[in-house]
């Protein structure tokens, strides 16, 4: 056991405690960024002037009429920017654009004494637009070769040759839709000017350091002149990893120009129409199997829809390419990725960060090919699982293959799958218009930022004279329970009761140069740093205790708020020791630091060992589909998931449940639609409210949702033997999509291969089962596959956002 992973007896980590702010959340006393403005004197409110074109040149901008509106204080335009007019780190996101790049793009902002005054002021601003041709769909972008950023390839062996050798070769396409974050709290910022032009910006941000840097560069300040604080977020899900910066910068600019605090909070429609979403992807692929159904080769091109600017599209794409294998050994691989530039919101991080999109490609392939190979889908999946010692296509060695196998077996057993499969067969045989199916899918998800430098974190821990402990760390709390886990880590390391530990809001002047709280690595990284800081304090206190207890310092023990020594009955209460340590002039605070060892990654050739470890899980999902309407419901879900030795089991189970449901929403309900026509609303987000964008709600909750944490799962390489949990379980939801595919197939003859659009909305499921009914000839020809044609943008479509998803799987 490593020092990092070793867990003392009676540890506070591992206890099933509730979220540290649970009582505040449910009573409404928890403060979020936008709760601060009513407490802020003289605050101004900001409202955007949103462009009504997908793409247009701004040829005239007259702000004067806005000033005639009572209560309007200031209109912010590009000319007001003292620093760099850019809201991103890629220098491709002008904060005040001269060219509109998506429908709803903010060209300027109005500040008012009230929100209503700002809104009316924005209506009064006169803008002249010269509309320009736009690209809305991925198919249009591919046809026009409208791409941005790098085009990396993950490659091993010779995929062409291996395809030529394979006895079964298939090719196909998949278009999968994006997803709206729909965090409960929309983007929000509150900026205040302090003396000497320094700024204090409160922001709902997963990445306070980068928000600080962008505010500084827009205002032409140094980083030490800007402090960013994030109290907590009402959800981020990746949507607040890079996109809060511009809003914070607008508020900060407004505060600087007016000398008054500025509050900016997007209403729901503004948030939906202005902020980025999960990337939709298009995939074109060829795959080869041997006679036993073992994967031989995969050749694919993944194109993501980046929207108007790069934002995080390149790292999202890299993660997609690194997850196209999911948990399957594929000897020869060549997968190329590219980012399309379209005139839509700039798509961004979303729970899984490209991993879900990459993995969906291989799961779709296996689901479509299993009937053509005459192998049960669950059997085809299991046969292709990794074994220890094999490597991923990018070269990382697999060491915990046994865990997926164990989770798989446990799901089969706990979920009573053999019996239920027989029952389902019976049910389907006796029900003409209702079909059921159960599917099982695995998850293997890499933990660490692909970019090695981000894998570091800091903490600042204070012990006050009364023994109470205040923990600052670089991570942000967005509901995921990071603060709860850090509280448990600090209490464990210091050997104190959790009641005397508090977490402070995240601030850039407490811990500098932080990474985004993202990639599920918040607890690993900040946990390592908090532990380091607490260990320093504990060491110093051990010397004071040694004198008082009459034992050598290494023999002092801290546990449960009591300090004891080996070989003595005498003990000291924690607070007592701290008090005397202060008078003995002992430093009672410490800065902690952690960096993940053993990572290496070459992003140019896409090779290395970018991940500290993999998180694993398996889900089984049973669904029922109505043959008249395609309406479907989930009957039961069984999950076994690997979180290492859990730091906080209630938090982890909650993360797994929430992630599964969020994944199921992405794959089966949520349906982003943009106006793709040539009319005046081209490019407009048609699903710009909760009434048109269907989120999972209580009525979609599976009536049975069993979540079990995998046992014997100690993780050597992470704090107190735990593993990251935030993102990986989202991909457990592949099971619901595969179950729907199988239920559709049950409407057709034996061996039917079903192409299912993503999202598999009732409409899409209806079309899929109609095709199954029509009968699909599963005959397979052996031999090498032809090079597939480029995606045909003019191909007939049933679903505007996933035209090729319904295209038949073609045989070689
Ligand atoms: N859980 C809640 N309740 N709210 C969120 O916004 N974000 C997810 C996940 N779980 C999120 C969440 C995402 S995208 C990530 S990367 C992780 O939490 C980030 O937190 P962690 O690194 O502390 O796990
Ligand atoms: Mo999570 S998508 O890495 O913020």
**pLDDT by residue (tens digit) across 618-654?**
999 999 999 999 999 999 999 999 999 999 999 999 9
* Nearest partner of 305 among 89, 140, 518, judged by Cα: 140
**Per-residue pLDDT for 785 more than 90?**
no
| Distance from residue 353's CA to the centre of ligand 1 (Å) | 11
| Distance from residue 609's CA to the centre of ligand 2 (Å) | 20
For residue 731, the 8-state DSSP code is G
Mean pLDDT of 504-509: 98
pLDDT of residue 398: 98
Domain at 34-133+181-274: CATH code: 3.30.365.10
What is the C-alpha separation between 525 and 539, in angstroms, rounded? 21
| Distance from residue 236's CA to the centre of ligand 2 (Å) | 8
| Distance from residue 236's CA to the centre of ligand 1 (Å) | 7
Q: Please, are residues 631 and 703 in contact by the beta-carbon 8 Å criterion?
A: no
Q: By 3-state DSSP, what share of the chain in percent is helix, strand and coil, each rounded to 5?
A: 35, 25, 45
- Cβ density class 680-711: b for 16+ within 10 Å, e for less: eebbbbebbeeeebbebeeeeebeebebebbe
Q: Please, are residues 718 and 726 in contact by the beta-carbon 8 Å criterion?
A: no
User: For the sheet containing 613-626, what is the strand order?
Assistant: 434-447, 613-626, 632-641, 704-709
Q: Please, are residues 689 and 272 in contact by the beta-carbon 8 Å criterion?
A: yes
**Per-residue pLDDT for 85 more than 70?**
yes
Question: Using a 6 Å cutoff on CB, does residue 486 contact ligand 1?
Answer: no
Name residues whose C-beta falls within 8 Å of residue 64's C-beta, 6 or more positions apart in sequence. none
> What are the tokens at 634?
């989930």
Q: What is the largest CA-CA distance in the chain?
A: 85
Number of CB atoms found within 10 A of residue 533's CB: 26
> What are the tokens at 352?
């899984």
Which pLDDT band, with edges at 50, 70 and 90, does 251 fall under? very high
Preceding amide of 509 cis, omega within 30? no
**Per-residue pLDDT for 605 more than 80?**
yes
Catalytic residue (choose from 727, 738, 771, 803): 727
Reported as a single tens digit per residue, the pLDDT across 681-718 is 999 999 999 999 999 999 999 999 999 999 999 999 99
| Distance from residue 279's CA to the centre of ligand 1 (Å) | 18
**Average pLDDT of every residue of the chain:** 95
DSSP assignments along 734-789, one per residue: HHHHHHHHHHHHTTSSTT------BS--HHHHHHHHHHHHH--------SPPPPPP
Phi and psi torsions of 434, nearest 5°: -130, 130
Number of CB atoms found within 10 A of residue 26's CB: 10
Q: Which is more confident, 798 or 68?
A: 68
pLDDT of residue 793: 38
> What are the tokens at 194?
């302090």
Alpha-helical (H) ranges within 679-752 are 734-745
Which ligand has the nearest atom to the CA of 480? 1
pLDDT of residue 14: 98
**Per-residue pLDDT for 807 more than 80?**
no
**Per-residue pLDDT for 781 more than 90?**
no
Q: Which fold has domain 401-453+599-773?
A: Aldehyde Oxidoreductase; domain 4 (3.30.365)
Percent of the chain with pLDDT over 70: 95
Pocket of ligand 2 (CB under 6 A): 206, 238, 241, 349-351, 353, 518-519, 727
Best probe residue, ligand 2, of 351, 523, 659 (max atoms within 8 Å of C-beta) = 351
Number of CB atoms found within 10 A of residue 783's CB: 14
Which pLDDT band, with edges at 50, 70 and 90, does 797 fall under? very low
pLDDT of residue 673: 98
Domain boundaries, the chain: 22-30+456-595, 34-133+181-274, 401-453+599-773
Reported as a single tens digit per residue, the pLDDT across 268-290 is 999 999 999 999 999 999 999 99
Q: Could you identify the residue written with the tokens 């993950």? A: 154
pLDDT of residue 2: 78
**Residue 6 a catalytic site member:** no
Which ligand has the nearest atom to the CA of 22? 1
- Helix, strand, or coil (residue 231): coil
> What are the tokens at 400?
């915990």
Same fold, 22-30+456-595 and 401-453+599-773: yes
Best probe residue, ligand 2, of 239, 446, 727, 729 (max atoms within 8 Å of C-beta) = 727
Reported as a single tens digit per residue, the pLDDT across 161-192 is 999 999 999 999 999 999 999 999 999 999 99
Best probe residue, ligand 2, of 205, 353, 448, 451 (max atoms within 8 Å of C-beta) = 353
> Does CATH number 3.30.365.10 belong to domain 22-30+456-595?
yes
For residue 706, the 8-state DSSP code is E
Question: Burial, 247: exposed, middle or buried (Cβ in 10 Å; 0-12, 13-18, 19+)?
Answer: buried
Reported as a single tens digit per residue, the pLDDT across 147-158 is 999 999 999 999
Mean pLDDT of 659-676: 98
Question: Burial, 625: exposed, middle or buried (Cβ in 10 Å; 0-12, 13-18, 19+)?
Answer: buried
Q: Please, are residues 254 and 46 in contact by the beta-carbon 8 Å criterion?
A: yes
Work out whether strand 506-507 and strand 613-626 pair parallel, antiparallel, or are unpaired.
unpaired
Which ligand has the nearest atom to the CA of 185? 1
Given CA atoms 657, 659, 664, 665 in this order, what sign does their dihedral have?
Answer: positive
pLDDT of residue 776: 58
Question: Global pTM?
Answer: 0.95
Which ligand has the nearest atom to the CA of 238? 2
Q: Please, are residues 770 and 728 in contact by the beta-carbon 8 Å criterion?
A: no
Mean pLDDT of 372-382: 98
**Per-residue pLDDT for 580 more than 60?**
yes
For the CA of 233, the nearest atom of ligand 1: 6
pLDDT of residue 1: 67
Which residue has the CA at smallest separation from atom 11 of ligand 1?
Answer: 237
Element at 55 (helix H, strand E): none
**Per-residue pLDDT for 139 more than 60?**
yes
Name residues whose C-beta falls within 8 Å of residue 425's C-beta, 6 or more positions apart in sequence. none
Question: Using a 6 Å cutoff on CB, does residue 236 contact ligand 1?
Answer: yes
Task: Give whole-number Cα distances, 502 to 8, 230, 489, 579, in Å.
Answer: 21, 16, 12, 19
Which residue has the CA at smallest separation from atom 4 of ligand 2?
Answer: 238
Reported as a single tens digit per residue, the pLDDT across 442-454 is 999 999 998 899 9
Phi and psi torsions of 502, nearest 5°: -125, 155
**Per-residue pLDDT for 434 more than 90?**
yes
């Amino acid at each position: 056991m490593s020092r990092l992973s070793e867990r003392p007896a009676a540890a506070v980590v591992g206890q099933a405690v509730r979220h540290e702010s649970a009582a505040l959340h449910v009573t409404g006393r928890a403060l979020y960024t936008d709760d601060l403005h009513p407490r802020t004197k003289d605050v101004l409110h900001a409202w955007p002037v949103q462009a009504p074109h997908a793409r247009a040149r701004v040829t005239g901008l007259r702000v004067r009429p806005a000033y005639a509106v009572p209560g309007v204080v200031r209109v912010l335009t590009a000319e007001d920017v003292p620093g760099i007019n850019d809201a991103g780190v890629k220098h491709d996101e002008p904060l005040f654009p001269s060219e509109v790049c998506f429908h709803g793009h903010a060209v300027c902002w109005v500040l008012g004494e009230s929100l209503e005054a700002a809104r009316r002021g924005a209506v009064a601003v006169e803008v002249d637009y010269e509309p320009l041709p736009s690209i809305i769909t991925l198919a249009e972008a591919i046809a026009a070769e409208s791409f941005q950023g790098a085009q990396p390839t993950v490659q091993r062996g010779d995929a062409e040759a291996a395809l030529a050798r394979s006895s079964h070769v298939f090719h196909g396409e998949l278009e999968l839709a994006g997803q709206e974050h729909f965090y409960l709290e929309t983007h929000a910022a509150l900026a205040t000017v302090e003396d000497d032009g320094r700024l204090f910006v409160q922001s709902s941000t997963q990445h306070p350091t980068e928000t600080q840097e962008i505010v500084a560069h827009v205002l032409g300040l140094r980083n030490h002149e800007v402090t960013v604080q994030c109290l907590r977020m009402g959800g981020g899900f990746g949507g607040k990893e890079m996109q809060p910066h511009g809003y914070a910068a607008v508020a900060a600019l407004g505060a600087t120009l007016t000398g008054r605090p500025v509050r900016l909070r997007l209403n729901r429609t503004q948030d939906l129409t202005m902020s980025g979403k999960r990337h939709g992807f298009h995939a074109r692929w060829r795959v080869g199997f041997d006679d036993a159904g073992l994967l031989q080769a995969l050749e694919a091109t993944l194109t993501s829809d980046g929207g108007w600017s790069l934002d995080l599209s390149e790292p999202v794409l890299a993660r997609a390419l690194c997850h196209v294998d999911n948990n399957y050994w594929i000897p020869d691989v060549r997968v190329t990725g590219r980012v399309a530039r379209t005139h839509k919101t700039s798509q961004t991080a979303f729970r899984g960060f490209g991993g879900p999109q990459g993995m969906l490609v291989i799961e779709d392939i296996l689901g479509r090919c299993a009937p053509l190979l005459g192998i049960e889908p669950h059997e085809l999946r299991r046969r292709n699982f990794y074994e220890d010692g094999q490597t991923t296509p990018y070269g990382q060695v697999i060491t915990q293959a046994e865990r997926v196998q164990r989770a798989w077996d446990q799901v089969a057993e706990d979920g009573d799958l053999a019996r239920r499969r027989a029952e389902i067969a019976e049910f389907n045989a006796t029900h003409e218009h209702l079909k059921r199916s159960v599917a099982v899918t695995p998850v293997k998800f890499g933990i660490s930022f692909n970019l090695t430098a981000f894998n570091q974190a800091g903490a600042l821990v204070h012990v006050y004279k009364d023994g109470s402990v205040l923990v600052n760390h670089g991570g942000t709390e967005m509901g995921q329970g990071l603060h709860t886990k850090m509280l448990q880590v600090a209490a464990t390391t210091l050997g104190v009761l959790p009641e005397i530990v508090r977490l402070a809001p995240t601030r850039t002047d407490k811990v500098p140069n932080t990474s985004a709280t993202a990639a599920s690595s918040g607890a690993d990284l900040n946990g390592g740093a908090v532990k380091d800081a607490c260990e320093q304090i504990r060491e110093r206190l051990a010397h004071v205790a040694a004198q008082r207890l009459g034992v050598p310092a290494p023999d002092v023990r801290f546990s449960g708020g009591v300090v004891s020594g080996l070989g003595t009955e005498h003990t000291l209460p924690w607070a007592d020791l701290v008090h005397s340590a202060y008078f003995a002039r002992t430093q009672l605070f410490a800065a902690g630091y952690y960096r993940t060892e053993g990572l290496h990654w070459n992003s140019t050739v896409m090779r290395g060992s970018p991940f500290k470890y993999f998180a694993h899980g398996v889900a089984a999902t049973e669904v029922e589909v109505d043959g008249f309407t395609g309406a479907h419901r989930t009957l039961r879900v069984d999950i076994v998931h690997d979180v290492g030795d859990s730091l906080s089991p209630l938090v982890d189970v909650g993360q797994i449940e929430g992630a599964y449901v969020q994944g199921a929403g992405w794959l089966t309900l949520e349906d982003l639609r943009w106006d793709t026509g040539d009319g005046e609303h081209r490019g407009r987000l048609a699903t710009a409210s909760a009434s048109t964008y269907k989120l999972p709600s209580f009525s979609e909750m599976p009536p049975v949702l069993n979540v079990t944490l995998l046992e014997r799962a100690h993780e050597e390489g992470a704090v107190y033997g735990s593993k990251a949990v935030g993102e990986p379980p989202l991909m457990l939801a592949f099971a619901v999509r595969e179950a729907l595919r199988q239920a559709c197939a049950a409407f057709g003859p034996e061996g039917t291969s079903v192409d299912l659009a993503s999202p598999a909305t009732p409409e899409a499921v209806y079309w899929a089962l109609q095709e199954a009914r029509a009968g699909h000839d599963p005959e397979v020809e052996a031999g090498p596959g032809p090079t597939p044609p480029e995606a045909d943008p003019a191909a007939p479509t049933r679903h505007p956002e996933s035209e090729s998803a319904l295209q038949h799987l073609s045989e070689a």
